[in-house]
Amino acid sequence: MSKKYVYLFTEGNANMRELLGGKGANLAEMTNIGLPVPKGFTVSTEACTQYYEDGRQINDEIMGQVKEALKTLEQRTGKQFGNPENPLLVSVRSGARASMPGMMDTILNLGLNSVVVEGLAKLTNNPRFAYDAYRRFIQMFSDVVMEIPKSNFEAIFDANKEAEGVKQDFELSAEGLKKTVKEYKVKYRELKGEDFPEEPSVQLYEAIKAVFRSWDNPRANVYRRMNEIPYSWGTAVNVQEMVFGNMGETSGTGVAFTRNPATGEKALFGEYLFNAQGEDVVAGIRTPKPISELEKDNPAVYKQFVEVANKLEQHYRDMQDMEFTIENGKLFMLQTRNGKRTAAAAIKIAIALVKEGLLTKEEAIMKVEPNQLNSLLHPQFKADELKKGVVITTALAASPGAGTGKVVFTAERAKELVAAGEKKVILVRAETSPEDIEGMVVSQGILTERGGMTSHAAVVARGMGACCVAGASEISVNAEEKYFTCNGKKYSEGDWISLDGSTGKVYDGQINTEPASISGDFAVFMGWADEIRKLHVRTNADTPADAKRAFEFGAEGVGLVRTEHMFFNGAERIKAIREMIVATSVEKRKEALAKLLPMQRGDFEGIYRAMEGRPVVIRYLDPPLHEFVPHTAAEIKEIAEDTGLTPEQVQETCDSLKEFNPMLGHRGCRLSITYPEIAEMQTRAVIEAAINVTREGKIKVNPEIMIPLVGDIKELKYVKKVVVETAEKVFAEQGITLPYEVGTMIEVPRAALLADEIAQEAEFFSFGTNDLTQMTFGFSRDDAGKFLEDYYAKKVFEQDPFQHLDQHGVGKLMKHAVEAGRATRPTLSCGICGEHGGDPASVEFCHNIGLNYVSCSPFRVPIARLAAAQAQVKNPRK
C-alpha cells in the first residue's frame, strides 16, 4: 500500500494546497497554465507528518520517491546531479499550506561541490559566477541545514572583500570568491569536525530533512500560534531546477505585486536587483530598483513579465505576489501567491475586483482578513500636534498608521519594557529578522535603517497592522550602545520619536495619536459586510464615551456594561463603595449605596443616549468586594473617619474579605444574594435613567438587566425578584412604565448544563466566555500564563483558550446551552460578551451555533462585523 509522497510540478494544481503547500501548488498551477517555470517536484506535507511520526527520520519509501522524481527531473532537464559536464543544480524551498516566514526558507545552488563548481565555471565560462554560487550554497547550507551561525562566514567574506578593496558582494573577483570558498570549507570542518558534504544526494537528503525540521523550530511555533496555523499541517518541500539571477548583468532577480500592496492602486509594484540571487532582495542587504525601471533595462522581459502578471491575476482573481528570476535575459517564474496587503489595500482591491467583474460582493468580503481592519482603526496623529511636528527623516512608508513611543533597540528590550508597564515603545533596528517578531508585536511602530517594501520588517508589520517606516538610510543604528543618530542628532533608549507609516515620515519627540473613522472605501466595504451578515454586533462599553465610539464603528447595541468599572471612576465613587463595604448594618449600607445611585444613573443615561435606542445590556456588580477595599493606612483612616469606625475595624473588614480563590469566591449574583440592597440600588439606577432619557422624548430605551455568575435557577430567581420589585416600585413612584428584560450571563458550567431550567427565568442569555473558559478548563486566567508556555513548548496546546474560544470544549457547552435554552424559551436571545466576541474565528463559531449577537470592545466592532459576514458566506443561515 504505497502512498504518493512526491509530485512533479506537472502532476499538481492550485487546489492541492493542503498536500503540496501553497508554493508547490502554485508552481504546479503555473506550470500547467504554460508559464515559464523551472522544472521540479514537491515532497508533500504528508511526508513531513510521516517524518515526525517516524521519530524525525525520512523513511525509505519517501526517499525512494524523491530519487525517482529526481531521475525524472534529470531526464526532463537533460542535466545530472554531480555531473561536472552538465550539472543539475536545484533550489530547495519550504512551502506550507499558509505562508510562514518563521520557517527555513531557501537553499539555492544545491548540487555544487568541488568538482561540479569547476565544471560549472567551464560550462558558463564564468568562474566568478560559479564560485559565487558555490560560496552562497556553502553559506546557506551551513546556516539553515547545519545551523552554523552566518557570522562565521560573513567575517571571512568581508575580509576577502576588504583585501580586494571592494564594497559590494558582486564586485569580488573570481579569485577572491575561490579563496572565500576554500576558507569556508576550512571553517566548516573546524566547526563541524567533518568535511562539507560533496555528494549532491547527501546534500539533498539533509536539506529536505532540514526543511521538515524547521517546521518545529521555536520561531515557526511562535508564528503559528500568532497566526492560528495548526502544528499538524506540516510543510512541503519544493525541489526545483536552478535558474541564475547572478550570471551577470543580463541576469537578475526580483519580486513584484500585481497591485500596490500598501495602497491597493492598480499598477505593477515591485523591485529587482541585477546580478543577484533572490535572497539578496528579501534580505534587504542591497537596495533594489523599482520594477518600473526594468522596462528601460530590458523592455522585452518587462513586457513578458507584465503579461504573466496580468494572466496570473485574472487566473487567481486576486492580487498576486510573484518572484522571478532572469537568467541571461530569459524570464522564469519562481513563485506566485495571493499577495499580502495592508487593510486599506485589501479593501481597495476587493472593491476594484468587484467593479472589474472578477468577484461578487460575497467573494470580495472574503478577501480581507478581519483582524487586518485593526490597522485602519489604528490611531492617526492628532492634527494639531502634527502641525508642530519636526520631521527628522523620511523613508519608505512600509506599513500604514501612526505610532509614537520611546525608542528601543532590541526586541527583547521592547518586550521587557512593555511587560514592566511601558505603554509605548518604537522598535528601531538596522533590519529585522524573524527573531524580532515578538518584540514587533508589542511595539507602537517599527523603524529600520535598511530594507525595502518587501523587507522582513515591512512584510511582517503590514501583516500585523503595525506601523512601519523602513529603509531609513539617513539613520545609523548602534544597537550595542543603544542609540541611533540621524543627521547629527543622537537618540538614545527612552527618547521619544513618532512614525507615520502611511507617509514614511519620522518625527522627533512625542506626537499623540487619535483614532480613525470609517469612511470612503472602508465604509462601502463594511456596508457590504452588513448586507450579508446575519449575526448582530454589539459592544462592550463601560462609559458613554466608549459607547459613542462603538456606535460610530457600527455597534448595534451594548452587549455589556460592566457597572463596577464605574465605581473606580473617581475618588468620590470609590469612597462611597468603600463605605458600602465596611457598613455594619443594612441601613448604613443603603446610605452608602444612595451616594452611588446618582452617579450610576448618570452614567446609564449617557450610555442610553449614545446608543440612540439600541439595546443596552447592563451587568450588575460582579467582582468580589475585596477588589475595592482601601490599601494604604491613609485610605483606611479616611474611611474610618467617614464611617465612625476605628481603623482597626475597617482593616478587619477588609481582611475578612480576602479569599483563597477569588475567581470562585463571593462575587457576581452571590453578592446580590448576600446584599440585595446592591441589586436594588442598581435597578433603581437602570430604571430611573431609562425613565429620564425616555422623558427627554428623543429615544426609546431598552435596558436589559444581566445577572452575572448564575449557576442555579434559584439564584436567578432570587435576584430577579429583587429587580422586579424595585422596578415596580420605581414605576409606581414615577407614574410611568417601561419595557425591560432580565437575563443572565452563562459563564458557570452548571448554568450551561442546566440552561433549560435557567431559561425559565432568564429572558436572555449572554455567554461570559472568559469565566466559562476558566471554569471549564479549571484555568485561572491570572495564573495560567506561566504554565501555558510549557504547554505550547510541548505541543499540548497550540492556542491560548482565552484568546481563541475553545470551540471543542467550551463551545460544546455553549451549543448545548443555546439549544436547551431555546427548547424552553424559543425566542431566547443569545449573545456573547466575553473577549472572544471580537476574535474572528470565535465570531464564526458564534454564527454557526446560532447566537443572535456578539459583543466586543469598540475597536473590534468592525472586525466582528466582517467576520460575521464571512461566517455567513461560509455557512449561510437564515
- Return residues touching a copy of itself (CB under 8 A): 659-666, 670, 673-674, 709, 711-712, 714-715, 718, 747-750, 753-754, 771, 774-780, 782-784, 786-787, 790-791, 794-797, 806, 808-810, 812-813
- Which residues are paired to 403 by β-bridges? 499
CA angle, corner 345, sides to 340 and 349, nearest 5?
Answer: 95
Q: The C-alpha cell of 137 is what?
A: 550554497
Which grid cell is 228? Answer: 492560528
Which residues lie below 8 Å from residue 668, measured CB to CB, with a gap of 6+?
622, 707, 708, 709, 710, 745
Write out the H or E segment, with its range, that includes residue 704. strand 703-707
- CA 798, 804, 810, 812 dihedral sign is negative
Closest distance between a copy of itself and the C-beta of residue 792, in Å? 11
Give 293's contacts (C-beta < 8 A, 6+ positions apart).
Answer: none
Amino acid type, 786: K
Bridge-based pairing state of the strands 489-492 and 483-486 = antiparallel
Nearer to a copy of itself, 555 or 722 (CB): 722
Helix (H, G, I), strand (E, B) or coil at 110: strand
Q: In a 3-state reduction of DSSP, which class is residue 833?
A: coil
Q: Which of 456, 626, 836, 847 is catalytic?
A: 456
By C-beta, is 509 or 662 nearer to a copy of itself? 662
Output the smallest distance, CB 338 to a copy of itself, in A: 32
**CB of residue 660 vs a copy of itself: minimum separation in angstroms?**
4
Give the span between the Cα atoms of 596 and 567, in whole angstroms. Answer: 8
Taking CB atoms within 8 Å and a gap of at least 24, the contacts of 789-794 are: 792/221, 792/225, 793/221
> Could you tell me where the DSSP H helices lie in 33-83?
45-53, 60-77
For a copy of itself, the closer of residues 343 and 754 by Cβ is 754
Does residue 723 contact residue 679 with C-beta atoms inside 8 Å? yes
DSSP strands (E only) in 20-115: 40-43, 90-96, 106-110
Cβ proximity to a copy of itself, 731 vs 777, nearer residue: 777
**Whole-angstrom Cα distance, residue 245 to residue 663?**
62
Whose Cβ is closer to a copy of itself: residue 388's or residue 808's? 808
Q: Cβ contacts of residue 731 below 8 Å, gap of 6+?
A: 687, 737, 738
Query: Cα–Cα distances in Å, from 878 out to 236, 496, 848, 861, 874?
Result: 40, 52, 11, 22, 13
Looking at beta carbons only, is 207 or 716 nearer to a copy of itself? Answer: 716
Residue 63 Cβ, how far from a copy of itself at the closest point, in Å?
Answer: 28
Burial class (CB in 10 A: 0-12, 13-18, 19+), 232: exposed
3-state secondary structure of 427: strand
Q: Which is nearer to a copy of itself, 234 or 405 (CB)?
A: 234
- Please say whether the beta carbons of 132 and 81 come within 8 A: no
Question: 483: helix, coil or strand?
Answer: strand
Query: Residue type at 519?
Result: S
**456 catalytically annotated:** yes
Please report how close the Cβ of residue 761 comes to a copy of itself at its closest, in angstroms.
Answer: 13
Name the DSSP letter for residue 288.
Answer: P
CA distances from 459 to 434, 465, 599, 657 (A): 11, 10, 48, 51
- Confirm whether 833 is a catalytic residue: yes
Q: How far apart are CA 393 and CA 498, in angstroms?
A: 11
Whichever of 30 and 754 has its CB closer to a copy of itself, that residue is: 754
Residue type, 311: K
Instruction: List the grid coordinates of 726.
Output: 424595585
Least Cβ distance, residue 606 to a copy of itself (angstroms)? 32
The answer to whether 869 touches 839, Cβ cutoff 8 Å, is: no
Closest to a copy of itself by CB, 35 or 657: 657
Shortest spacing between CB 39 and a copy of itself, in angstroms: 41
Nearer to a copy of itself, 170 or 797 (CB): 797
Question: Of 468, 654, 669, 833, which is the active-site residue?
Answer: 833
* Minimum separation from the CB atom of position 407 to a copy of itself (A): 31
CB of 100 vs a copy of itself, minimal distance in Å? 22
Kindly state the smallest distance separating residue 239's Cβ from a copy of itself, in Å: 33
CB of 626 vs a copy of itself, minimal distance in Å: 11
Closest to 634 in 3D by CA, of 567, 578, 589, 577? 578
- Residue 659, all three cell numbers: 479569599
Q: Which is nearer to a copy of itself, 87 or 668 (CB)?
A: 668
Q: Count other Cβ atoms within 10 Å, centred on residue 108.
A: 24
Q: In this complex, which beta carbon is closest to a copy of itself, that of residue 426 or of residue 716?
A: 716
User: What is the nearest approach in angstroms of a copy of itself to the Cβ of residue 631?
Assistant: 16
778: Cβ–Cβ under 8 A, 6 or more apart, which residues?
none
Could you give the CA distance from residue 669 to residue 679 in angstroms, rounded to a whole number? 9
Q: Residue 571 corresponds to which amino acid? A: A
| Residues designated as active site | 456, 833
